[in-house]
Amino acid sequence: MNIEPIVALEIGTSRVRVFVGEAREDGALMITAVGDAASSGMRKGEIFHFDSVCACVETALRQAEEAADLKINEVYLAMSGSQIEALPSRAEIPVDGEITPQDVDHVKRMAKEVTLPADREILHSIFGQFAVDGLPGVTPVGLVGQRLAAEMLIVHGVHSRMVNLVRVVKALKLEMAEPLFSGLCSAQAALSAEQKHQGALLIDLGGGKTDYVVYAQAKIADAGVIGVGGDHVTNDVARAFRLSTTEAEALKLQHGDAMVSAAGRTRRLPLPAAAGEAPRTAKLSDLQTIVHLRMEETFGLIAARLKRQKLLSLLGAGVVLTGGGAHLKNVAALAEKVFGLPCEIGVPRNASGLTANLAVPEYATGVGAVLHGYRSARTAAEESRSAWKKLAHWFGVN
Amino acid sequence: MAAKSENAQDDVRELRCRVLVAGVGGAAGNVLGHALADWPEPPTVAAVNTDVRALEATAVALKVAIGRTVAKGMGTGGDAELGRLAANEDLDALRALVAGHDLLLLVAGLGGGTATGAAPVLARIAREEGLLVLAYVTLPFAFEGARRQEQAQEGLADLKQSADAVIGLPNQRLHALLPSDTSLPDAFAFVDRMMSAGIRGLWTLLARDNMLNLDFSDLQSLVENSGNECGFGYGEGQGPGKAEQALQGLLEGPMLEKGRVIANSGAMILNVAGGPDLSLAELETIHRRFQEAARPGARISLGAAVLAGWTGRLALTVLAAEHWLPPARPGSLVIPAGPDVPADVPAGRARKNVQQSELQLGGAGDRGRFRDVAPTIHEGADLDIPVYIRRGIRIPS
């Protein structure tokens, strides 16, 4: 099976990243090149200044092309923001005796048909499970029953915002392989099959937004985006200590902490002062408080939503954090406190050949997008092969 | 209808802008009662409530009882849903109330059931009838409890959707201005006084026979391009230094955050009310002081009204749009991200859901680097504003 190199593009609020993956001899996926450039023109996972975004994407693409020695023509686009949400959907049809593959297709198609507000568009229709006569989790073809149901999760976002991200790809004369929700990509890369099976919450802490994906009862039960990210922490710090964004970002990276410590109350941090200004300091505990409140709120919003949907008790494998924000000191401890579940930092797995410096939480989305692309390319290759076989068979019969 | 006219010119003005002041709920009824107490020429003032006894007790002449079926003439017991149902039960009465007016000044003490539930309905009806709707609301004190706070925030979010602009006055902020030993009745009375001064100021700004022309279109332009964020201030002075006194009260007082709202504002309406002794020099001083205080290039519309019996007295009213944006900004790509904003609206109108008013904890000035993008609103709270500010935590501690 010959699969072209898979390229994933992630246009984030703080970084633009390009990942190139190639199939190894043994069929496993290997990331062969990464392009990683600072992002500008993005806010909260969405485009704020089109031309700046295009320029940043181009930089990252060139880096990756050079490293992989490859001309990139087609990309899988990992997108976020766009008020992406998930809507559970269910369809049921009467069946007569033995369930056929046609029945299955029919009920799946019906479950995919949901009415969304006019400005929204479906990004993914994720299959959940079938139920025959109320018995869930069955493989229906060949069973006998009276009612066949299909459950799906429809991931959708605001059309115009998603289109703007796609327009960047078009502007750079690239082909779009498939648009993907970045949260799903991160889950793809960072969660093990075991974790998905036991139930897990993946939270990707990005610069401009926070994605979450919930696996419960061996299927994806919820997903969405909160328009709050690391930039908000930086902005809070800048506002509190009257610092520039750059200064606040540096302070956050160096001393930021999701938990308030007793030692923080007595320790003072020097703050950058303008020329001629008296030297200033800030209490470490003040910085910790600002960061703690922001992260606690963000986690709290997700926890409240999951609680309402009664999903919180189904997460046997706990919480996995990815994204650049996962580097924040004590962030896992805070998540454990808010969710009342064990929490770990997730790094890309499920792809071989990753060198140590690639196994970082902020690469989960990009690697996950490549993984997805690789799997769908492989499926497509297999399907075309089997379709060819079928065709040959037909011709043979005739 | 509107104020009693004393000459033909008043009639002309009244044709231009017929103002209705309507209070929804018990707290607003009280405020309007205060405001009316020494109001020489009141506009049309109405009280809307589910509670018939409270309606009977208010000094407001025009009383609209709503929700006789759902609330049975009683209060809503703090249930906003009941308030909403009550208003929906009497949509026709509300429609009849607002008909024939150009501007609705809607007064409500958010947090209570009737105010929180019914005010957004009234605002929506008024807008459907073509009125410009300016909501002037209080938010509860912290000690009134989290549930009331939450309910108030939800009401505020609804109101932002349905009104053209919301001016919010969080009681908690006023609380900080009161001496710590202030009694509870005094604290509420203080809030009522602040509210009634505001209502009267707005009314003066709009409806008087103004010496300097300031009218409905000025307000409309300000409100429509303010992104729904208006800061409001009112100051008074008496005696020889009355202009200076009023200016000081306003620019250094709490309502405009010691002038910070003015400093950040792109456009404002400024109205001076005085007696026959109001001098040109005073007007010039006031205008100059605001020009100095405002950011360069800010649009300042000045109006002046002469009131009989106001000799030796001067009042200043300011309505400031901190995020005034020219209606169209071709060429700049702004992607609004608010939850309910259609993506194709220009920047100036895209901020429909922005947390209102500099008078609140967490004004637009706290949005920092997010000030130019549409806000992230969750259950009425603007998540772009630092959490510590929204929770009222002092940093540095």
The pLDDT value given to residue B350: 30
Extents of the domains making up chain A: 85-156, 193-346
Mean pLDDT score, B149-174: 80
Measured between beta carbons, the chain B residues lying within 8 angstroms of A290 are 386-388, 395
Torsion of CA A361, A366, A372, A375, to 10 degrees: -100
Residues of B with CB under 8 A from a CB of A: 333-335, 337, 339, 342-344, 366, 368-370, 372-373, 376, 378, 383-384, 386-389, 391, 393, 395-397
B349 pLDDT higher than 50: no
Which of the two residues, A10 and B315, has the higher pLDDT score? A10
Amino acid letter, A247? E
Q: Pairing mode, if any, of strands B313-321 and B299-306?
A: unpaired
Least confident of A366-370, B321-325, B343-347: B343-347
Which domains occur in chain B, in start order? 15-207 (3.40.50.1440), 227-321 (3.30.1330.20), 329-397 (no CATH)
The pLDDT value given to residue B377: 82
Cβ contact, residue pair A226, B337, below 8 Å: no
A254 pLDDT higher than 90: yes
How far apart are the C-alpha atoms of A393 and A387, rounded to whole Å?
10
Helix or strand (DSSP H, E) at B242: helix B242-251
Task: Tell me the β-bridge partners of B295.
Answer: none
Say yes or no: A285 contacts chain B, CB-CB below 8 A: yes
Equal CATH topology for A85-156 and A193-346:
no
Cβ contact, residue pair A44, B344, below 8 Å: no
Q: Smallest CA–CA separation between B354 and chain A, in Å?
A: 14
Query: What's the pLDDT band for A242 if we cut at 50, 70, 90?
Result: confident
Mean pLDDT score, B200-229: 66
A183 pLDDT higher than 90: yes
Contact B187, B170 (CB under 8 A): no
Least confident of A49-58, B137-146, B218-227, B269-278: B218-227
On the CB side of B157, CA atoms within 13 Å amount to: 18
Mean pLDDT score, A44-68: 89
B39 pLDDT higher than 80: no
A249 pLDDT higher than 90: yes
Helix or strand (DSSP H, E) at B147: helix B146-162
- CATH class (in words) of the domain with range A85-156: alpha beta
Listed in sequence order, the DSSP H helices in A191-330 are 193-198, 230-241, 245-255, 284-308
B178 pLDDT higher than 70: yes
Q: Cα–Cα distances in Å, from B120 out to B81, B108, B342? A: 12, 10, 20
Cβ contact, residue pair B386, A294, below 8 Å: yes
Domain A193-346 belongs in CATH node 3.30.420.40: yes
Say yes or no: A156 contacts chain B, CB-CB below 8 A: no
Query: What's the pLDDT band for B340 if we cut at 50, 70, 90?
Result: very low
Task: Tell me the β-bridge partners of B72.
Answer: none
How far apart are the C-alpha atoms of A367 and A30, rounded to whole Å?
10
The pLDDT value given to residue A87: 92
Q: Smallest CA–CA separation between A188 and chain B, in Å?
A: 27
How far apart are the C-alpha atoms of B357 and B27, rounded to whole Å?
20
The pLDDT value given to residue B336: 34
Query: What's the pLDDT band for B268 if we cut at 50, 70, 90?
Result: confident
Contact B257, B289 (CB under 8 A): no
Say yes or no: A252 contacts chain B, CB-CB below 8 A: no
Measured between beta carbons, the chain A residues lying within 8 angstroms of B341 are none
Q: How many CB atoms lie within 10 A of CB A90?
A: 13
Count how many pairs of residues, chain A against chain B, have C-beta atoms within 8 Å: 97
How far apart are the C-alpha atoms of B117 and B122, rounded to whole Å?
10
Which one of A208-222, B35-49, B293-307 scores highest in mean pLDDT? Answer: A208-222
Query: What's the pLDDT band for B207 if we cut at 50, 70, 90?
Result: low
Least confident of B134-143, B160-169, B333-342: B333-342
The pLDDT value given to residue B144: 81
A144 pLDDT higher than 80: yes
Closest by alpha carbon to B316, among B287, B277, B279, B351?
A: B287
Cβ contact, residue pair A119, B397, below 8 Å: no
Listed in sequence order, the DSSP H helices in B260-350 are 260-264, 280-293
